[in-house]
Structure 1
């Protein structure tokens, strides 16, 4: 489901909502963090480098947490700190990820066949973009269940990119994360913890794609839908795939 609508600014407020965003130091994560702080949310953002996380958080009035999503022990420590700093957690935004440039800097002009991808590069990207989603959700969900509810938003990408030539391991890792999200939604149905997918709807200017590519979406496109997903208006929304490019805001409550 992608053509969703917020009926005015009140549906884009998240006053007092406590949100953890992984990979929030740049790109989509930074854009979502800034949008949520602007909407009144209390935000903690993570990055592998604690200093960079602190710097990014300080610029928007959030909490910075150093956390390597590949490491289950680092995840447990980071999640515990987020709960301590925020006084709880209402929403987890799984966003941390690395792109194709980490395994092939020329992936747009010189696609690399899968058999030329290094095993170490494959493992590191999958550990970040797929296993990381699992580890952070695994650390958060029992706490949400104990609290009686919560929300998880897993950031995804276009299906076409998942199977694009030369996109191993990025495409398969993101496809796996999307499948994981749907299974999470099924496992959590009826528990009070909701799970939804959110994606930009096209390549974005995040640094993962060479700047020479035309038509890149601005990362701020994620702002309105993530604010809505964290707002009271999205209570009960579950197992949806929301495309930011198709998300509409109606200022008078009419058609978007």
Structure 2
């Protein structure tokens, strides 16, 4: 039996990497999933790859930095679906936008350009705020909803050469905790999910991946599949304000008695 039948879910940053892996996992459990990212061939191809497998994937172009773009996406969901059960905030850009060699040649914060800093914060922090702000009133109307905010390791938040990515994820975690408190009385839960280590995504350039071979193991994006399905399903009902590490998910489940 599919765990997510009749569930309607929006996943941002879903054209590749963690977002694509999570969208695919949710779809395979019977959910209808809107894959969201900036419009273009990459998003078209991602949705096509899933629909040709017979999965109920739809394309939802959205620039999370733009209030108008977010509002247009919310309007589409209201018109086409009439509800939203789960929002997965995942859209983000990484350190490669300010330093392509960030893992092998970290640079100090004072060498980061102001425009590079602002662009990353606008996407990774303000984007989570704008998308949540856009969809939450719709969830409030329905009296329920789940928000899952994707984050990264604490080590990333204090690692040498990781401005502005580290601060952006620290900010999204604070935002998540406060959102969870603000939404308790509305029947809406907010939880965080992170892989638990460096992951094979587009945030790490191919040439850097080659340099890292043999030095440490990169995680596969599929590590997010099991926990994202749990958080989107009825099994997570009432759980809120949690920070879940994907590689430690089974241990977390045992501790929670789930």
Confirm or deny a common fold (TM above 0.5): yes
Residue 17 of structure 1: aligned partner: 7
Tell me if structure 2 keeps the 8 A contact 1:44–1:86: no
Q: How far, CA to CA, are the matches of 1:206 and 1:171 in structure 2? A: 17
Q: Does 1:45 align with 2:35?
A: yes
Pick the aligned partner of 1:56 from 46, 52, 71: 46
Bigger relative contact order, structure 1 or 2, given CA contacts below 8 A and separation 6+?
A: 1
88, 107, 116: which one aligns with 2:111: 116
2:219 matched to which residue of 1?
217
User: Take 1:208 and 1:215, find their aligned partners in 2: how far apart are those partners?
Assistant: 16
In structure 2, the partner of 1:66 is 61
Preserved CA contact (<8 Å) 2:191 2:240: yes
Q: Structure 2 unaligned segments of length 5 or more: list them.
A: 52-56, 252-256
Write the deviation string for residues 206-254 of structure 1: whole angstroms up to 9, x where unpaired: 12123132300000000000001111111111111111101129xxxxx
User: Aligned partners of 2:226, 2:99: CA distance in 1, in Å?
Assistant: 32
Looking at secondary structure, tell me which structure has more helix per residue.
Answer: 2
In the alignment, which residue of structure 1 is the partner of 2:237? 235
Q: Deviation at 1:56?
A: 1.0
Match of 2:165 among 166, 170, 186: 170
| Cα distance in 1 between the residues matched to 2:106 and 2:21 | 29
- Please give the root-mean-square deviation of Cα atoms over the aligned residues, in Å: 1.6
Partner of residue 175, structure 2: 180
Q: How many residues align?
A: 241
Displacement of 1:191? 1.5
Distance 2:65 2:182 in 1: 23
Q: What is the Cα deviation at residue 124 of structure 1?
A: 0.4
Choose from 243, 247, 250 the match for 1:248. 250
Greater Cα offset, 119-128 or 53-62: 53-62
